[in-house]
Amino acid sequence: GGRVRGLVGVSDVAKPDARAAVRALGEAGIDVWMASGDNEATARAIGRTVGIRDDRVLARLKPADKVALVRSLQAEGGRVVAMVGDGVNDAPALAQADLGI
C-alpha cells in the first residue's frame, strides 16, 4: 500500500464583517440567500459562519440553477431580488436579478 506523504488543505474564508452585514440586512427585512457552486459542506460552513440559515444555503448550483433561483424568488409576491456575483458563471443570474452587483 501507499503512504500519505503530504496533505494540503484549502478553505474559503468569509470577510470579517460579513456576519454583521448579513445581520444588518436581516434587521432591515431583507432575506439573505447563498447560491454557490461549491460543495454542500463548504457552502453550509460559510453560510453558518456569516449567519445564513441552512435552508437558504444552496450548493452545487450551475449558472442555470442560479437563474432559476432568482426567477423563483422574484415570483414570490413580487420580490425585488439583488444578486451579488463574482465571476462569468454568475452573469446570467446577475442579468436576471432586479439588481446585479
Residue 89 located in a structural domain: yes
Residues with pLDDT less than 50, the chain: none
Q: Given this model, what pLDDT does residue 18 score?
A: 95
Q: Given this model, what pLDDT does residue 66 score?
A: 97
Of 100, 85, 31, 35, the residue nearest 65 (C-alpha): 35
Residue type, 55: D
pTM above 0.75, yes or no: yes
- Collect all residues with Cβ–Cβ distance below 8 Å to 84 and sequence separation of at least 6: 101
Residue type, 99: L
For residues 71 and 96, membership in a common domain is answered with: yes
For residues 57 and 84, membership in a common domain is answered with: no
Residue 78 located in a structural domain: yes
Q: Given this model, what pLDDT does residue 78 score?
A: 82
Domain limits at 34?
A: 13-61
Q: Given this model, what pLDDT does residue 2 score?
A: 75
Question: What's phi and psi for 66, nearest 5 deg?
Answer: -70, -40
Q: Given this model, what pLDDT does residue 1 score?
A: 65
